[in-house]
Chains A and B, each alone.
Chain A
């Protein structure tokens, strides 16, 4: 019997094509995942201490500014998101503009590093890196760009050592932890006993942190992303980008226990930075001691660090030259999306160059 349906039978034929596509997707994601090269911009390691490595990127053009820029990444996940792949790299944009770039790779802390605290990260590691970069570049000061948790620590460092920093750039940095936000809610005192957690685990385990990030947007992270991948599995450009991002997203590291405990307790639970009560190694951290030019980069759709958490920063410092850019991107999109790399980072580079000589 001839059916009147014109689309039903062809749709059944599509089942075979869909099956082939599914097998290809399965092969790429689970059975034979291809090796993806990330963090490929040419560089040398100029300093190591414990797990920390300080990377110096080779210049790609004549240098336009004499003050080097140090990228301070978060302690969660790896810093190569800032140099993900050719064409998707903040480092590449900065180098092409002629900015000397150094990057701190914190490495993956072992159980023996559980006692590393904020004091160690700021007054030992960041301070040591600043001295190394000054020596290596021949500059008397440095520019610092801190991303996420690295931004919060960069703000603390600049407040404690204002004489070392020429310009400070914060990127999605949490400052006020009493604004509405998922992590602020989860980390709040009545909900999270951080002492008991760190006393038991030593370091904050990578799996724990990753699970938290995944369940913040469960459908998007566990379903939609893979449906989108399946639909674009034949698109080579999409595939390359997707696999690099997946590699980074799943390349998780633990956070040293003591610094995690202090971050949660002093910032998420007691909001000490904004309330001007934070002390590191007994020395008060006053944001108003920051007087250098400040550029505050905020991702409009940030679900990890709500824009309201970062935006207060410029009101708390004494700098006269300060600027905030709220860019329509997400927390990670600010560093990897084509829109940010074309529309934001050239402007950031120009801002740095204008204030660096």
Chain B
């Protein structure tokens, strides 16, 4: 969905309504707690652990629904995208500053080390290719494995 056609205030409203509805459901479970209404002496069959579990289950269900709806909304996607973009800008700026300082001090930078390691990887690939070619020349194909076969 494009951000241009997206109605942010409508989306906030929908999320708020969903959150309000689901939290009301969880609170309804809590309100059935006899302690809330009548006090301990009237609560013959009251099991606080069971009551808490019911409340937790209702909370878990409602919160999952609302949060999953939230992270699946174009509003969330647009905002998280913006946050990532800003942090990327900051990181790039910081890395460039560090790189400049190290260069001026005649120290090897991260880029220099990456270049060396990358060259080693390229050499490894070439050695592997050469080894394969030598194997092909020196051994008749196919070099079947020693596995048992039916």
* A contact residues vs B (CB 8 Å cutoff): 3-8, 11, 14, 49-50, 59, 62-64, 66, 98, 100, 110-115, 124, 128, 131, 134-138, 140, 182, 185-186, 188, 190-193, 196-197, 199-201, 208, 215-220, 223-224, 227
The answer to whether B64 touches A220 (Cβ under 8 A) is: yes
B147: shortest Cβ distance to chain A, in Å?
Answer: 6
The answer to whether A188 touches B114 (Cβ under 8 A) is: no
With beta carbons under 8 angstroms apart, the residue of A64, A115, A186, A216 that contacts B81 is: A186
Complexed CA–CA distance, A18 and B2 (Å): 50
Complex interface: chain A residues within 8 A of B141 (CB)? 135
With beta carbons under 8 angstroms apart, the residue of A49, A100, A110 that contacts B125 is: A49
Complexed CA–CA distance, A66 and B144 (Å): 11
The answer to whether A193 touches B81 (Cβ under 8 A) is: yes
The answer to whether A7 touches B47 (Cβ under 8 A) is: yes
Chain A CB within 8 A of B145 CB: yes
The contact string, 1 if C-beta is below 8 Å from chain A, for chain B 85-118, is 1011101100100000000000000100111111
The answer to whether B48 touches A192 (Cβ under 8 A) is: no
User: At the interface, is chain B mostly helix, strand, loop or mixed?
Assistant: helix
Chain A CB within 8 A of B7 CB: no
Complex interface: chain B residues within 8 A of A220 (CB)? 64
The answer to whether A182 touches B72 (Cβ under 8 A) is: yes
* Total chain B interface residues with beta-carbon distance under 8 A: 56
A103: shortest Cβ distance to chain B, in Å?
Answer: 16
Complexed CA–CA distance, A124 and B128 (Å): 12
User: At the interface, is chain A mostly helix, strand, loop or mixed?
Assistant: helix
Could you give 12 example pairs across A and B, Cβ below 8 Å? Answer: A5-B43, A8-B46, A50-B124, A98-B150, A112-B117, A112-B121, A185-B74, A185-B77, A186-B77, A200-B92, A200-B95, A218-B68
The contact string, 1 if C-beta is below 8 Å from chain A, for chain B 75-88, is 00110110011011
Complexed CA–CA distance, A59 and B146 (Å): 11
The answer to whether A8 touches B145 (Cβ under 8 A) is: no
Chain A CB within 8 A of B10 CB: no
